[in-house]
Amino acid sequence: MMQNILIVVEEKDGSLRKVCEEMLSFCSQYSNKLGFKVTALTYGNCLNQELFNQIASFGVGNILVIEDHQFARYNPELLINILKNIINEYNPNLILFGNTAVGKDLAPRLAQALKVQMFSDVTKIEFANDSIKFTRPIYGGKAIETDELNLENKLVLATVRPNNLPKYENNPAKPGIKKLNDKVIDNLTYTVKEVIEKLKLTKSINEAEIIVSGGRGLKNAENFAILEDLANTLGAAVGASRAAVDAGWKSHSVQVGQTGKTVSPKLYIACGISGAIQHLAGMSTAKCIIAINKDPDAPILKVADFGIVGDLFDIVPLLTKAFKAVTKG
Partner 1 sequence: MKVLVLVKETFDTEVKIVLENEIISEKDVKYIINPYDEFAIEEAIKIKEKLGGEVILYSVGREEASATLKTGLAMGADQANIIKSNVKNSMTVSQLLSEAINKHDNEFDLILAGWVSIDDNNAQVPGRLSQLLNIPFVNVVTKVDVTGEIVLCEREGEGCQEIVEVRIPAIIAVQRGINEPRYPTMKNIMQAKRKNVNLLELTAPIDKVKVSYQFPEQKNKGEIIDGSNPEQAAKVLVDRLKESKIL
Give the whole-angstrom CA distance, residue 4 versus residue 112.
20
To 10 degrees, what angle do helices 101-113 and 76-90 make? 60
- Least distance between partner 1 and beta carbon 137 (Å): 7
- 71: amino acid identity, one letter: F
Residue 254 per-residue DSSP state: G
**Residue ranges in 198-227 that form contacts with partner 1 under rule CB under 8 A:** 198, 200, 204
Choices 18-26, 37-45, 171-179, 254-262 (CB under 8 A): range interacting with partner 1: 254-262
Nearer of residues 46 and 195 to partner 1, judged by Cβ: 195
Taking CA atoms, 56 is separated from 14, 111, 171, 214, 301, in Å, by: 15, 27, 9, 39, 43
Q: Cβ of residue 136: shortest distance to partner 1, in angstroms?
A: 7
By the rule CB under 8 A, 118 interacts with partner 1? yes
Using CB under 8 A, which of the segments 26-34, 52-60, 88-96, 315-323 binds partner 1? Answer: 315-323
**Cβ closest to partner 1, residue 37 vs residue 219:** 219
Query: ∠ CA(171), CA(173), CA(178), 5° rounding?
Result: 155
Single out the segment in contact with partner 1 by CB under 8 A; choices: 23-31, 64-72, 212-220, 289-297: 289-297
- The helix (H) or strand (E) run that includes residue 323 is helix 312-328
Piece in contact with partner 1 (CB under 8 A), picked from 37-45, 49-57, 86-94, 108-116: 108-116
Q: Which stretch binds partner 1 (CB under 8 A): 41-49, 162-170, 175-183, 253-261?
A: 253-261
Alpha carbons 313 and 291: distance in angstroms, whole number: 13
When binding is defined by CB under 8 A, the residue of 166, 181, 189, 225 that contacts partner 1 is: 189
Residue number with CB closer to partner 1 (169 or 297): 297
Near partner 1 in 52-81, by CB under 8 A: 73-74, 76-77
Could you tell me which residues are beta bridge partners of residue 54?
none
DSSP-derived 3-state class of residue 39: strand
Strand partners, 236: none
d(C-alpha 312, C-alpha 158), whole Å: 40
**Is position 298 an interface residue for partner 1 (rule: CB under 8 A)?**
no
Nearest approach in angstroms of CB 181 to partner 1 is 25
